[in-house]
């Protein structure tokens, strides 16, 4: 009989349990494995492990799977601190020792920069304690039985919280017993979404747990390239290069970086798509000017000038049009804050085509127990 011409995707089915050897970590926190030549992205694993995994999706190009049993464990594997880890979609690195989490993130950042931008980065992912209890904003959901919980991985199913609550939620943040309920909408008819009540004017839709990054961004922009940033606010203020300069804070949210730049003496203009966030920013940083609307459109329409540009785009990145518009302003320095190394790399490549080089790049482990990290790239004209 002739050999079968079916592909691995046609032979494998969702729900199949297969034995896999996990290779390198990939963007998104999954390990790469191969099943009869087809790429499989596997969650809850570690590079070098041999595991048994259940296929959760199968496509023509790749499949996805979740570890059900570890046959040969990595030395970096630990017991997750949360009993619902692996089912809840919030913390995908709880099975990894904290130092190893940072190493995996370093590999991903370095790989994306090399592959997509041709940049060699030999830095480290800097620790930002604490490992648990750091998240100050939570969105809880309710099961049909009325128990508070969080969404499962890549599903709308709600995983009930353990008795001790979410391990990464800050102790001082309101728990599900102190938040209000509202209708979840058509997609989750019959469920209730539980949200934290924010303090008016304190945080908006894009506020975050990142004050240290805001200070670091201001210090890095104040320092000449190649020099270590100052240890505190006083030194940054004395070096004072930003003082009297014009700064643009793009995707400014509620004014986190605008406030740091204004404190350094800059004349600041912030741009943000959310009108609600802009209203918060105007209250938080009254000495700055804020515009609500599309960043790309306002950069084209407004007659803006800038010595310093800071941008903190969403996960999709800024894109080539915004990068081109920034370069046209000819700022002396650009600070790019990113939560996604792939889109960061693409935008850095675009900046390179417009005459800007990467003077420094740091990466911070702001989201322990997850695959996410935050990068700060400082760009200067060649």
Catalytically active residues are 339
Distance CA 111, CA 108 (A): 5
Where helices occur in the chain by DSSP H, the ranges are: 8-11, 98-117, 211-222, 233-239, 256-263, 275-284, 295-301, 320-329, 341-353
Q: Supply the pLDDT for residue 242.
A: 58
| Contact predicate 325/300, CB 8 Å | yes
What's the length of the chain? 382
Question: 52 vs 69, 77, 82, CA distance in Å?
Answer: 5, 15, 22
Count Cβ atoms below 10 Å from residue 298 Cβ, excluding itself.
18
DSSP conformational letter for 237? H
pTM above 0.95, yes or no: no
pLDDT tens per residue across all 382 residues of the chain: 444 344 454 578 999 999 999 999 999 999 999 999 999 999 999 999 999 999 999 999 999 999 999 999 999 999 999 999 989 988 999 999 999 999 999 999 999 999 999 999 999 999 999 999 999 888 888 888 888 899 988 888 899 999 889 999 988 776 776 544 554 443 443 344 444 433 333 333 333 445 545 555 555 555 444 332 522 223 233 334 556 899 999 999 999 999 999 999 999 999 999 999 999 999 999 999 999 999 999 999 999 999 999 999 999 999 999 999 999 999 999 999 999 999 999 999 999 999 999 999 999 999 999 999 999 999 999 9
**Long-range contacts: 113-119, Cβ < 8 Å, 24+?**
113/341, 113/344, 113/345, 113/348, 113/361, 115/345, 116/342, 116/345, 116/346, 116/349, 117/345, 117/346, 117/348, 117/349, 117/352, 118/349, 119/345, 119/348, 119/358
Q: Looking at residue 287, what DSSP letter applies?
A: T
The DSSP code sequence of 79-113 is --SSTTBTTBSS-S-TTB-HHHHHHHHHHHHHHHH
> How many other CB atoms sit within 10 Å of the CB of residue 381?
15
The pLDDT value given to residue 226: 37
Instruction: Go through the domains of the chain in sequence order and give each one's CATH number.
Output: 8-77 (2.40.50.140), 106-128+204-381 (3.40.50.150), 139-195 (no CATH)
Q: Contact, 285 vs 255, CB < 8 A?
A: yes
- Give the whole-angstrom CA distance, residue 33 versus residue 254: 41
In sign, the C-alpha dihedral spanning 173, 176, 180, 186 is positive
Cα–Cα distances in Å, from 219 out to 17, 228, 254, 311? 51, 9, 20, 15
Residue 240's pLDDT is what? Answer: 42
> How much is the pLDDT for 143?
83
Q: Which residues pair with 139 in a beta bridge?
A: 195
């Amino acid at each position: 009989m002739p050999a079968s011409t079916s592909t691995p995707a046609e032979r494998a089915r969702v729900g199949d349990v297969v034995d896999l050897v996990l290779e390198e970590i990939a963007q998104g926190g999954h390990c790469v494995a191969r099943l009869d030549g087809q790429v499989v992205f596997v969650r809850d694993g570690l590079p070098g492990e041999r595991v048994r995994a259940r296929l959760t999706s199968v496509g023509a190009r790749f499949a996805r799977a979740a570890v059900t049993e570890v046959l040969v464990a990595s030395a970096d594997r630990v017991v997750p601190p949360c009993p619902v880890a692996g089912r809840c979609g919030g913390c995908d690195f709880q099975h990894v020792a904290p130092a190893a989490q940072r190493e995996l993130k370093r590999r991903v950042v370095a790989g994306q920069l090399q592959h997509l931008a041709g940049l060699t980065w030999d830095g480290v992912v800097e620790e930002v304690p604490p490992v648990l209890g750091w998240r100050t904003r939570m969105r809880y959901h309710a099961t049909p039985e009325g128990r508070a919980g969080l969404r499962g991985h890549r599903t709308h199913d709600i995983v009930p919280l353990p008795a001790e609550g979410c391990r990464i939620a800050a102790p001082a943040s309101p728990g599900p017993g102190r938040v209000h309920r509202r209708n979840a909408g058509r997609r989750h008819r019959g469920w209730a979404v539980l949200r934290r009540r924010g303090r008016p004017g304190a945080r908006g839709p894009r506020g975050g747990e990142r004050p240290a990054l805001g200070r670091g961004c201001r210090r890095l922009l104040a320092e000449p390239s190649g020099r270590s940033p100052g240890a505190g606010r006083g030194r940054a203020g004395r070096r004072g290069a930003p003082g009297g300069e014009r700064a643009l804070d793009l995707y400014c949210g509620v004014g986190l970086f605008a406030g740091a730049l204004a404190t350094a003496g800059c004349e600041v203009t912030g741009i943000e798509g959310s009108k609600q966030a802009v209203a918060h920013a105007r209250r938080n940083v009254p000495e700055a000017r804020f515009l609500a609307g599309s960043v790309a459109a306002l950069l084209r329409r407004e007659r803006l000038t800038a010595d310093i540009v800071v941008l903190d785009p969403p996960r999709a990145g800024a894109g080539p049009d915004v990068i081109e518009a920034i370069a046209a302003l000819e700022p002396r320095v650009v600070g790019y804050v990113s939560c996604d190394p792939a889109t960061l790399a693409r935008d850095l490549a675009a900046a390179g085509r417009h005459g800007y080089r990467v003077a420094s790049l740091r990466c911070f482990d702001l989201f322990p127990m997850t695959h996410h990290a935050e990068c700060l790239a400082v760009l200067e004209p060649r």
